[in-house]
A and B are shown apart, each in its own frame.
Chain A
């Protein structure tokens, strides 16, 4: 009896210990680091962060990136998922090809797009062959903020839309096809069926995808770093720079906490805004 009662706790103990050691402890330490200066409680690190030239820029850039990438990814993944849903043959093959980017690390993805977009990259080669540009154009310099931003968005969309797609495809498969058929019988065209039936029933999956993607998007770093270095400052990039370039782990900790706070806030907003009341669940 005693054994049986203890067993569940024993089984979850390794995971719990692991998480406490490698997640909770560093979290507490980070918070301590942020609020300390030379061993004394202080807000110096916060003041340093706020006074930095790149601070406003990195917040602006990160939000701009999230606002551009997330809606684009959700729309694209929705369209792709709906197209896959209509396929009979080759469905799995197409899905498989579409989710290949999932298997690539974000730094590698950034390097792939660097190879495409850098001044001697594929884009310039093609444009040159077509006679559209004379010589290499630097798309990723800080003097070309628009093309730099577009490049980062492209790379992020290419890299991370697949995870949204997988979540939405799984969600679509959970919706019984009779709902769509009933709507069709009772006069709804394809667009109306999508809006009035599919989208509301897919809401829980969209919510999961949004939370996951938004949290990860606020943590965007490697892709941006590969493409632009610090020409396009983002929050996690600044944390990295304060830690390793400026050797100031206090300010780096403040950045880390800021990113966490923003992610938490976004999650809370999504949970509130896209709530499906239990009585409306199938």
Chain B
């Protein structure tokens, strides 16, 4: 049992609040991603869980044990750092063995675990080399192997793939997922890359300005964002936000109408680029400005009643800049957002 309970954690740097009263449960064996733009407090939260940073108030429980006041080495966790932090003066073998040696494991146990971890991450050929002789991707593998060698109850990862090139990142991502799936390690993974979070995590906590905007499964987060921020941050291209005037319980823009429940006279429709069909007549008038063939889709950027919007259409569609199209969003997939507070309507957020 090694779930993590984050109980009303707050962190202030002088007058500035980095984290505001965060409460969060990570279940045993779960992979949770902390997703947010830089400066949102996700790394601070991770470092507080690790014990590298001290919270201003609040408590951290790991496996039911209050570790709030314990130094990092007594918290029973492992961590992978953004810049790897692989010790340059030790061989790869000694790096991977480091945690085990600190625990006073026997030589046989060290050997067994190093070989297991090295096997998982395919670094057996480099065990006797020094990290300076390795590529970035190989060093990253060493850092992960070092963390897995101690068979931690909890694994913390701070943007572990951000220093790798795009192709390597994709490869490491799927490899990480399969390695961590089989080990069943409770993992907290910090990233600013929403595709990474979507691809890896069981659940994603989207953070913004020191608060958690929404926690949910990746698909739910994508389809039903609780706030405008989440809709705009998760998914590529970001969700479209189109303001529509409301009259008598009906949102109307161009020839498009939809019943909505709001007391305000404007409402924001959050619509994903792929949830829009191009129709013969009616719907939303869309003036195409830019066409980007992305292979799987053709991405159109343009304006709906002066508001920026992106639409993904079939790659073989014949569209040119300057065209006017008629768009019909699928009503069931629209997220209606209160423009005053940026929160989705009809959701417990």
Which A residues form the contact surface with B (CB < 8 A)? 176, 178-179, 181-189, 192, 197, 200-201, 276-282
Tell me the bound Cα distance from A185 to B89 in angstroms.
18
A-B contact pairs, 22 of them (CB 8 A): A178-B81, A178-B85, A179-B87, A181-B52, A181-B81, A183-B87, A183-B98, A185-B73, A185-B78, A185-B79, A186-B78, A186-B102, A186-B150, A187-B73, A187-B102, A188-B73, A188-B98, A188-B102, A201-B89, A278-B132, A280-B88, A280-B89
Residues of the A chain whose Cβ atoms lie less than 8 Å from the Cβ of B293: none
Instruction: Indicate if B72 sits at the interface (CB-CB under 8 A).
Output: yes
Residues of the B chain whose Cβ atoms lie less than 8 Å from the Cβ of A179: 85, 87
B313-333 vs A, CB cutoff 8 Å, 1 = contact: the mask equals: 000000000000000000000
Residues of the A chain whose Cβ atoms lie less than 8 Å from the Cβ of B129: 279
Known pairs A201-B88, A277-B130, A279-B132 / 18 extra A-B pairs, C-beta < 8 Å: A179-B87, A181-B52, A181-B79, A181-B81, A181-B85, A182-B85, A183-B87, A186-B78, A186-B146, A187-B99, A187-B103, A188-B98, A189-B73, A201-B89, A278-B132, A280-B89, A280-B130, A282-B132
Tell me the bound Cα distance from A109 to B50 in angstroms.
49
A-B CB proximity, top 10 nearest: A187-B102, A178-B85, A186-B99, A282-B88, A182-B85, A279-B130, A200-B89, A187-B73, A185-B79, A184-B72
Nearest CB on B from A202, distance (A): 10
State which of B83, B89, B132, B150 has its C-beta within 8 Å of the C-beta of A178: B83
Tell me the bound Cα distance from A178 to B87 in angstroms.
10
Residues of the B chain whose Cβ atoms lie less than 8 Å from the Cβ of A183: 87, 98
Residues of the A chain whose Cβ atoms lie less than 8 Å from the Cβ of B52: 181, 184-185
Nearest CB on A from B114, distance (A): 13
State which of B50, B77, B133, B146 has its C-beta within 8 Å of the C-beta of A279: B133
Instruction: Indicate if B119 sits at the interface (CB-CB under 8 A).
Output: no
Tell me the bound Cα distance from A48 to B88 in angstroms.
53
Tell me the bound Cα distance from A185 to B83 in angstroms.
15
Interface of B is mostly: mixed
Interface of A is mostly: helix
Nearest CB on A from B8, distance (A): 24
User: Do residues A182 and B83 form an inter-chain contact, with CB atoms below 8 A?
Assistant: no
Tell me the bound Cα distance from A189 to B102 in angstroms.
9
State which of B71, B81, B89 has its C-beta within 8 Å of the C-beta of A182: B81
Nearest CB on B from A172, distance (A): 15
User: Do residues B71 and A184 form an inter-chain contact, with CB atoms below 8 A?
Assistant: yes
Given A184-B73, A188-B73, are A176 and B132 also a contact pair (CB < 8 Å)?
Answer: no
Residues of the A chain whose Cβ atoms lie less than 8 Å from the Cβ of B130: 277, 279-280
Tell me the bound Cα distance from A174 to B146 in angstroms.
23
Residues of the B chain whose Cβ atoms lie less than 8 Å from the Cβ of A200: 89
Residue of B with least CB distance to A192: B102
Residues of the B chain whose Cβ atoms lie less than 8 Å from the Cβ of A201: 88-89
Residues of the B chain whose Cβ atoms lie less than 8 Å from the Cβ of A197: 87
Tell me the bound Cα distance from A277 to B132 in angstroms.
11
Residues of the A chain whose Cβ atoms lie less than 8 Å from the Cβ of B79: 181-182, 185
B84-97 vs A, CB cutoff 8 Å, 1 = contact: the mask equals: 01011100000000
User: Do residues B146 and A280 form an inter-chain contact, with CB atoms below 8 A?
Assistant: no
Residue of B with least CB distance to A175: B88
Residues of the B chain whose Cβ atoms lie less than 8 Å from the Cβ of A282: 88, 132
Tell me the bound Cα distance from A176 to B82 in angstroms.
12
Tell me the bound Cα distance from A182 to B50 in angstroms.
10
Residues of the B chain whose Cβ atoms lie less than 8 Å from the Cβ of A278: 132
Nearest CB on A from B24, distance (A): 20
Tell me the bound Cα distance from A279 to B128 in angstroms.
12
Given A201-B88, A201-B89, are A185 and B72 also a contact pair (CB < 8 Å)?
Answer: yes
